[in-house]
């Protein structure tokens, strides 16, 4: 009978039951990665040193014993957090019912007597100290190095173009991030890497997958968007490194040479046995619906639907990431650009879906305003997505009605 029963062991006074789990395909949708992540760690514990507490009964000093996620798999609070009033407010804002906390409470950290110390650690600060974030950062940097080697070999036609093998690390990163929305928690805190090719390609692949998922595209098309995002800049293998890494403004000749990456990339893959959407994306990811893009100045529906998704991911990651010639641009400045130019330059459904979802990943994140004040985002204005309401101390500042104010950084 032991072979048929769940695996059971006794440690001290605790009884642990390990539930056997089915194998899951790593290329399931992003929503499935949340299930994978949680199913792998599904262990039933009896008489262990944690308890399930209603969110309404949380009090400062309680210690989170397991990562807290939303139903759409966004990390709300990392484990081992000693809850304070702000943490509890954040958890309640997601309409969660209950969470696991340790039996033993701890003292809430006292505020230091220095400027800005009246605020507890921000969500981003806490996230960057978690084991999950540290592992994700290390792995995406490792995968970036692997991708560089693969791209160089593909450019020299030393290896065949195996799309499934190339995208496999992307799906591993989804699992580590906790799913679709968790990806942006990670990427928003990895903006200091100035690699404009390999790390950028991984980021664009992750964002393209997420946007395609938000758009509720079929699984097959989500996989294609993921691969297209990863390969969109492969033509940069043929661009001199002194142009790619130049810190000064490019000359007119250098700008023209850089734009050649779309044609050179397309030439590399046009005869390969890969999905046509991927080929089109490599060629068209700088095309814009008003005809102002390149290389063909295509308009509207002449642009491939998957390329339209990758274009948005490419622009967002390019602007919000550090580059050798500038610091990262605040995401809310980029959102304002999308609000002003989005429907003219980008596919309407894709850009509206992106803006409507990306802004929600910043709820309760701490930001700095253009007047120097610091506060937390508490409400998204559906009519002005780049202008949310920010709580600074006891003051609620609606940026939609304060035209002179804006968000200059997420901290």
CATH 1.10.3210.10 fits 131-329, yes or no: yes
What's the pLDDT score for residue 163? 96
If you search the block for the tokens 């700095």, which residue do you land on?
A: 368
d(CA 204, CA 212): 12
Altogether, the residues listed in the chain come to a count of: 411
Instruction: Tell whether the model's pLDDT for residue 20 goes beyond 90.
Output: no
Which H/E stretch holds residue 141?
helix 131-155
| Predicted confidence band of residue 251 (pLDDT cuts 50, 70, 90) | very high
pLDDT digits (tens, 9 = 90+) for 194-204: 677 899 999 99
Name the β-bridge partners of 21.
none
pLDDT digits (tens, 9 = 90+) for 286-303: 999 999 999 999 999 999
Annotated domain spans of the chain: 7-120, 131-329, 362-410
Average pLDDT of the residues in 132-142: 92
Instruction: Tell whether the model's pLDDT for residue 40 goes beyond 50.
Output: no
What's the pLDDT score for residue 73? 65
pLDDT digits (tens, 9 = 90+) for 218-238: 999 999 999 999 999 999 999
Burial of 366: CB neighbours in 10 Å, binned 0-12, 13-18, 19+ = buried
On whether the CB atoms of residues 367 and 409 are closer than 8 A, the answer is: yes
Could you say which architecture CATH assigns to the domain 362-410? Roll (2.30)
What's the pLDDT score for residue 146? 95
If you search the block for the tokens 């046009």, which residue do you land on?
A: 270
d(CA 406, CA 388): 9
Name the β-bridge partners of 64.
101
């Amino acid at each position: 009978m032991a072979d048929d029963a769940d695996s059971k062991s006794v440690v001290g006074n605790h009884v642990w039951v390990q539930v056997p789990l089915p194998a899951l395909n790593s290329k399931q949708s992003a929503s499935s990665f949340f299930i994978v992540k949680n199913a792998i760690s599904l262990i039933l514990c009896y008489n262990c040193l944690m308890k399930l507490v209603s969110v309404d009964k949380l009090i400062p000093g309680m210690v989170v014993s397991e990562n807290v996620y939303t139903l759409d798999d966004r990390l709300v609070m990392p484990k081992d957090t000693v809850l304070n009033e702000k943490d509890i407010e954040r958890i309640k804002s997601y309409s969660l019912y209950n969470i696991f906390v340790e039996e033993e409470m701890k003292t809430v950290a006292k505020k230091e007597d220095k400027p800005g110390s009246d605020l507890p650690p921000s969500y981003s600060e806490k996230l960057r100290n978690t084991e999950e974030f540290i592992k994700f950062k290390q792995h995406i940097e490792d995968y970036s190095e692997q991708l560089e080697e693969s791209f160089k070999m593909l450019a020299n036609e030393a290896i065949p173009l195996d799309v499934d093998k190339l995208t496999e690390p992307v799906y591993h990163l989804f699992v580590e991030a906790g799913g679709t929305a968790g990806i942006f928690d990670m990427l928003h805190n990895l903006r200091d890497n100035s690699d404009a090719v390999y790390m950028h390609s991984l980021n664009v692949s992750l964002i393209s997958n997420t946007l395609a998922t938000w758009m509720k595209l079929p699984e097959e098309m989500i996989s294609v968007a993921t691969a297209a995002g990863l390969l969109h800049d492969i033509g940069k293998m043929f661009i001199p490194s002194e142009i790619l890494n130049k810190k000064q403004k490019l000359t007119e000749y250098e700008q023209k040479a850089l734009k050649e990456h779309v044609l050179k990339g397309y030439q590399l893959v046009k005869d390969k046995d890969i999905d046509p959407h991927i080929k089109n994306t490599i060629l068209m990811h700088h095309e814009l619906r008003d005809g102002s893009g390149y290389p063909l100045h295509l308009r509207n529906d002449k642009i491939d639907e998957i390329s339209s998704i990758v274009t948005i991911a490419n622009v967002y990651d390019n602007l919000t990431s550090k580059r050798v010639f500038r610091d990262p641009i605040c995401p809310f400045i980029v959102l304002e650009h999308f609000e002003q130019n989005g429907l003219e330059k980008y596919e309407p459904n894709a850009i509206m879906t992106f803006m409507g979802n990306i802004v929600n990943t910043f709820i309760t994140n701490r930001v700095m305003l253009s007047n120097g004040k610091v506060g937390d985002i508490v409400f998204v204005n559906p009519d002005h997505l780049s202008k949310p309401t920010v709580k600074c101390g006891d003051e609620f500042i609606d940026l939609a009605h304060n035209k002179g104010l804006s968000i200059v950084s997420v901290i």
